[in-house]
Amino acid sequence: MIPNRTDPLPTDVLTRAASYARAWRGGTHPISPSASAAALRNRFCLPLTDKGIPGAEVIDALIAAAEPGLVGNTDPNFYAWVMGGSNLVGVAADWLTSAWGQNAAIYQASPAAAIAEEAVEAWLLELLDLPRESSVGFVGGATMAAFVGLAAARGEVLRRFGHDVEAEGLQGAPKVHIFLSDDAHVTNYAALRQLGFGEANFHKLSSDSAGLMRPADLANAMARSGGPKIVLAQAGHINSGGFEPLAEIAALARSHGAWMHVDGAFGLWARASAVRKGLTVGAELADSWSVDGHKWIQLPYESGFAIVRHRDAHRRAMQKTAGYLNCDEEDGRNPSSLTPGLSRRAQGFAAWAVLRSLGRRGVATLVDRHCAAAAHLADRVRRNDGLTVVNRVDLNQVVIGCRDRRNEHWKISALADRLNAERRLFVRPAQWKGRSVLRLSVISQNAGFENVEALADRIEEIWPTIEMRRPDTPACEDLLAQPAMGAVNS
């Protein structure tokens, strides 16, 4: 006889978590953490118990430990990095995903998870208007999406030169030339290194003031290099939000038999907006794309999409077969045939739920609202004597610098500190192209006109008090309060 479950289920933990989450998402909180690392360690780094602790008590303790160390990504006044705020429909679907305990490794491990991914794959290709024959791997973010796209690229360009990397590895392979901006997102370089490439493979093309490569430089560099080639282009630069001339780059890539990958972690979503799609012309000509779900469309974190036009190359790069996995695809896809790992949370459910709930118009509205708000913010910032907007604001990014370059570092740091002081706004200074800048990303799901108006008002109040200080004599508190300049990678 098959035994029934006899132990009582501790479902009170779910009720507790749900009622807390409801109150937390409905309330207002400080936007930046109040606890120091030491204070957080005191709460988290406890001795492991022998006996364990009742679940409800643990959930209460987790809430108490984590809350003072949380950052307000879900707050519409969060501008610090290009991050999303976890749409609640996605959160609810994510809870179900966990409660169902599904493993999206293979079709048979969760037919529902596999078919949900099929549905999302078709919707994504339609929304982003990318070749419908492409396949989509569900990964943890744009870094891993780049890894997957570039793994497929590596296999394919080497195959064209008679080398089977899946069989022979990189030993003895012809040298692969990889062309990209010297200011491409750092995670692309990381993914390339993880794939066995290094400085000797990179042609780092010197970028323009928006961080973008120039097609003429690409043409020259490609003409000088023989052998397998990969071009990595940017759709939405991490700082400027700029787009490389993708159609021109695609034409060059094609004429050299190169594989073109587009990093569109957030910028590719511009294709969902009729107003902004023009920025991305030519993206559809690429061979692979990386895009995040946890940025503009606000999926819960660990959601990225690796989109590859050439299904066979995609599968070859990610292949894993074993008798016990029974991996034929008669009924539906095996999700892990498109991803680096095997076992995985069934991310397709949350993506399915959020895209169903937003619809085409909902996605376009998010993009358009954020871009319009960013343009308005830039206009307001330009009205302040002594402040400049460093980038062309076509998308959601507003990069602010000082006219007084000699004192830019301390002035921008002081402005950031003052804006953050009441913990109702969250901004971060950054270093970019030898400048100290305030880099504002308008992307949090509820951010809109009213939020950027309030931010611009605060800048107008604060800036004159900083600007009026005698140059070259930073106030002590500015020096002391200078935070480490933010790493510009998100």
Ligand X SMILES: Cc1ncc(COP(=O)(O)O)c(C=O)c1O
Bridge partner list, 308: 135, 288
Non-local CB neighbours of 64 within 8 Å, separated by 6+ positions: 43
Please give the span between the terminal C-alpha atoms of the chain, in angstroms, as a whole number.
55
Q: Which of 236, 335, 340, 486 binds ligand X (CB under 6 A)?
A: 236
Return the number of the residue (263 or 417) whose C-beta is nearest ligand X.
Answer: 263
Return the number of the residue (142 or 389) whose C-beta is nearest ligand X.
Answer: 142
Q: Which of 292, 394, 408, 467 binds ligand X (CB under 6 A)?
A: 292
Angle 89-92-97 from CA coordinates, rounded to 5°: 125
| Interface stretch with ligand X, choices 138-146, 251-259, 327-335, 358-366 (CB under 6 A) | 138-146
DSSP for 400-469 reads EEES-GGGHHHHHHHHHHHHHTTSS-B--EEEETTEEEEEEE--STT--HHHHHHHHHHHHHHHHHHHTS
Return the number of the residue (81 or 463) whose C-beta is nearest ligand X.
Answer: 81
From the CB of 236, what's the least distance to ligand X, in Å?
6
From the CB of 149, what's the least distance to ligand X, in Å?
12
Q: Give the count of residues interacting with ligand X (CB under 6 A).
A: 14
Among 38, 349, 398, smallest CA distance to 242 is for 398
Using CB under 6 A as the binding rule, whether residue 189 contacts ligand X is answered as no
Return the number of the residue (197 or 463) whose C-beta is nearest ligand X.
Answer: 197
| Interface stretch with ligand X, choices 167-175, 196-204, 241-249, 258-266 (CB under 6 A) | 258-266
CA-to-CA separations, 390 to 298, 402, 465, in angstroms, rounded: 27, 9, 22
Using CB under 6 A as the binding rule, whether residue 141 contacts ligand X is answered as yes
Bridge partner list, 138: 305
| Interface stretch with ligand X, choices 194-202, 218-226, 260-268, 371-379 (CB under 6 A) | 260-268
Among 396, 334, 408, 438, smallest CA distance to 113 is for 334
Bridge partner list, 229: 177
Using CB under 6 A as the binding rule, whether residue 266 contacts ligand X is answered as yes
In which element (H, E) is residue 289 found? strand 288-292
Residue 314 Cα to chain centre, angstroms: 21
Integer Cα distance of 67 and 307 in angstroms: 36
From the CB of 468, what's the least distance to ligand X, in Å?
36
Tally DSSP H helices, then E strands, for the chain: 15, 11
Using CB under 6 A as the binding rule, whether residue 300 contacts ligand X is answered as no
Integer Cα distance of 381 and 76 in angstroms: 19
Q: Which of 265, 307, 371, 415 binds ligand X (CB under 6 A)?
A: 265
Residues 15 to 34 in contact with ligand X, rule: CB under 6 A:
none
From the CB of 180, what's the least distance to ligand X, in Å?
12
Return the number of the residue (306 or 402) whose C-beta is nearest ligand X.
Answer: 306
From the CB of 266, what's the least distance to ligand X, in Å?
6
Using CB under 6 A as the binding rule, whether residue 187 contacts ligand X is answered as yes
Integer Cα distance of 229 and 201 in angstroms: 10
Return the number of the residue (143 or 207) whose C-beta is nearest ligand X.
Answer: 143
Using CB under 6 A as the binding rule, whether residue 191 contacts ligand X is answered as no
Using CB under 6 A as the binding rule, whether residue 394 contacts ligand X is answered as no
Integer Cα distance of 75 and 447 in angstroms: 8
Using CB under 6 A as the binding rule, whether residue 156 contacts ligand X is answered as no
Using CB under 6 A as the binding rule, whether residue 313 contacts ligand X is answered as no
Using CB under 6 A as the binding rule, whether residue 238 contacts ligand X is answered as yes
Using CB under 6 A as the binding rule, whether residue 82 contacts ligand X is answered as yes
Residues that bind ligand X (CB under 6 A): 82, 141-143, 185, 187, 236, 238, 263, 265-266, 292, 304, 490
